[in-house]
Structure 1
Amino acid sequence: MTQQTPAFDAGSALSALRQSEASVRRATNPNPPILYLLWGTVYTLGYLAVHAALFGWLPMSLPLALTIFAALTAAGAAISAALGAHAGKGLRGESRRRGMFYGLTWASGMICVGFIVVALLRLYLESATVIWLSSVIATLLVGVLFATAGAAFLDRSIFFQGIALLVANVGTLLIGPGPFVLVGWLAACAVLFIGAVIAARRTTNRLN
């Protein structure tokens, strides 16, 4: 009696491949929705604290507000680094180097922004003006990095998020360092929260 070989099930094979891909992604990728949500929260709380101190709608001194913003940023950087280190364990070769170079670009850019802020402080400008210009420079850097990454990797979502950050930044420039600058700041934060939603939907679609 001849034993028949089971017919090849293309659907089952495709499902197995997708499950394998999803497992690899979960093991090697930092969670993009968490990163977007993390930095959206950091900047929203930081900008609210600084704005409250500058314009007096909360009993908070400017040094305290800046300390809160710095602490939030440090915590965000630590969490981001931990997620990136976890993801890097599963990467080798070109992918690992690409991620390392991109991360170094971000770090170098932010260090430059820090030196620019120090230079602005030495000009003895008003506090509101220094913070306004600092936020504009930082958002410009982040927007350009987003748009460049989207263009390099042909990722339209990241590219248009970068463009949206640059548009929000133009709004911040036009508003100026007065009380309404919070509108521009929160618009930039909204782009990050929208990015979290988009990234979560994309992650869900990939896992299904």
Structure 2
Amino acid sequence: MTHDALDDDRPLDLHTALRLVKSAEDTARRELRGNEALQYLVWGLAWLLGFGTLHGSRFGWLPIDHEPALAVFGVAILLAIVVTIVVAGRYSRGIRGHSSFTGTMYGVAWALGFLVMGTLSGVIVGVVDDFWVRGMLMNGIAILIVGLLYITGGTTFNDKTQSVMGVWFLVVDMAALLSGSQHYLTVFFIFGSGGFLVAAVLETVRRRKQAQSNA
């Protein structure tokens, strides 16, 4: 029996097998979720611009009324949604089977969650007169949905960063609600957008380390 034959009969090294499994998981996650660092950056900038404009209107350091500020916030969020759909769609094109079903249902959960939020927002507008109190309640509902779906997405796609971000957003949401209508924008402006931007940096570092280890 030759030395080559003995090598062929050896069981696969455990560490090599684990690396192969981890690489396959990372590849599948990238295909389903796209470039997470780019998406975190886009959403961080959208929150920074949107909540920053509302904050400037609320506290007077921007010469803008609350209605135009709300329009800027809406446009920033809409642009972030469009970028997310384009990036995720590009990466998931051609995926079939269980992975396709998982990604599709995760997207449906986001859509239905915010449809419910829109319905609740309509109710809030009808019963709450104060603009800033309405904003606090609506944003509280929105960030609750975001936090829960981030935790769900992180566990579904084996993405620890996303799960940690979900927990972070729920903590930020509680802090914003407890701070009241006077200060909730400050909490979202600083800690909400900051959470996305920090995640973008960490995800970029992680991807570079992974690329170096796979090289």
Would the TM-score normalized by the shorter structure come out above 0.5? Answer: yes
Q: How many residues align?
A: 197
Native 8 Å contact 1:27 1:90 kept in 2: no
Give the aligned partner of residue 114 of structure 1: 118
Q: Distance in 2 between matches of 1:26 and 1:139?
A: 24
Give the aligned partner of residue 103 of structure 2: 99
Q: Distance in 2 between matches of 1:32 and 1:152?
A: 15
Q: 2:192 aligns with which of 174, 188, 193?
A: 188
Q: Distance in 2 between matches of 1:97 and 1:206?
A: 27
Matched, 1:54 2:58: yes
Q: 2:85 aligns with which of 81, 95, 101?
A: 81
Q: Flag the 1:202–1:90 CA change in 2: closer, same or farther, 3 A.
A: farther
After superposition, the CA RMSD in angstroms is 2.9
- For each residue in 1:82-138, what CA deviation from the matched residue of structure 2 results, as whole angstroms up to 9, or x when unmatched? 111111214121111111110111111112112222211111420110111111111
Report the TM-score, using the length of structure 1 for normalisation: 0.82
Give the aligned partner of residue 174 of structure 2: 170
Percentage identity across aligned positions?
27
Gaps of at least 5 residues in structure 2 are 1-6
Native 8 Å contact 2:147 2:166 kept in 1: yes
Gaps of at least 5 residues in structure 1 are 1-6
Native 8 Å contact 1:139 1:169 kept in 2: yes
- For each residue in 1:153-172, what CA deviation from the matched residue of structure 2 results, as whole angstroms up to 9, or x when unmatched? 44332222111111111110
- For each residue in 1:5-30, what CA deviation from the matched residue of structure 2 results, as whole angstroms up to 9, or x when unmatched? xx99x9xxx8xx8xx97xx6798351
Q: Distance in 2 between matches of 1:26 and 1:171?
A: 31
Report the TM-score, using the length of structure 2 for normalisation: 0.80
Aligned amino acid, residue 183 of structure 1: T
53-62 or 91-100: which moved more? 53-62
Q: Distance in 1 between matches of 2:34 and 2:160?
A: 19
Q: Distance in 1 between matches of 2:63 and 2:118?
A: 27
Q: Distance in 1 between matches of 2:158 and 2:91?
A: 21
Give the aligned partner of residue 4 of structure 1: none
Q: Flag the 1:96–1:25 CA change in 2: closer, same or farther, 3 A.
A: closer
Secondary structure, in 3 states, of the residue corresponding to 1:122? Answer: helix
